Amino acid sequence: MPLPIGWTLAVLAMSLFGSLAAWQWGRAEQKEAMLAETARVLAERRAQPLASAGDAARAQTYDWAAGDGEFLPAPAILLDNQTRDRQPGVRVFRVFQPVDGAPLLVELGWLPVPGNRAMPTVAPVTGRQHLSGLLVPPPSEGIAQAAPAEQADGSLLVIALQPDELAQALELPTLAPRLLKLDPDQPLGYARDLDVLPNTLPPERHIGYAVQWFGLAGAVLVTALLLTWRSRRGARNGR
């Protein structure tokens, strides 16, 4: 292969690997910042009103919140493909109407799903409630898309939490852009925690992948330099 073509391919490969490495490193920094902000909020626990969940300007931030209200008689939302202690399951959400502000999704916890994929039945929550917990953005939607699937008990099975789409499916005028991860100390719901990175890669994994991509870019450079040296050496010896 002529050296110019070889070096063009090598530069393209190094650019690709470098871009992937930079993306992984950026994701690690984003998640580290997310964990640091969450740790600060949980340490301070300065409760904001639940109405702040509807503040679009804070849609990507984290707050401790508390307030009164009632769960609406709307179907439960089951977020699919959620593991806990290496067991498959779903995370259960219900719509809560605070005294002030827009209705919001409240995570009640995790339930297992058996091998036959029979979805759990979620009991309604009635009466006035005082809730507290961590306001968070919805988990990343990923690339998979699917409409909510109605289950036998009326609950909706989803693979992503999209407030606008869910509001339409639930026949609600709106849903707050942030959801409430219910305080695990409250005697309500199912097994849960305040982990903001469930079922996703931690920062250290992203850093590991970034190092691998940087390593591949370096390997391409070393290989290109070695082949260039051999090619030129062979050309000199052939004279």
* 74-118 pLDDT tens trace: 999 999 999 998 899 999 999 999 998 999 999 999 999 998 999
Where is pLDDT greater, at 143 or 78?
78
Phi and psi angles of residue 230, each rounded to the nearest 5 degrees, phi first: -65, -40
Where is pLDDT greater, at 235 or 73?
73
| Own/partner pairs, 159-165, CB within 8 angstroms, 24+ separation | 159/79, 159/80, 159/81, 160/79, 161/77, 161/79, 161/93, 161/105, 162/138, 163/105, 163/138
* pLDDT > 90 in the chain, percent: 60
Least confident of 51-65, 98-112, 191-205: 191-205
Q: In the chain, what are the domain boundaries?
A: 1-44+201-239, 45-182
* 152-161 pLDDT tens trace: 888 999 988 8
pLDDT at 110: 95
pLDDT at 231: 79
Over 80: is that where the pLDDT of 142 sits? no
The predicted model gives 34-51 an average pLDDT of 91
Over 70: is that where the pLDDT of 144 sits? no
Over 90: is that where the pLDDT of 22 sits? yes
The predicted model gives 29-54 an average pLDDT of 91
Over 80: is that where the pLDDT of 237 sits? no
pLDDT at 147: 80
Over 80: is that where the pLDDT of 239 sits? no
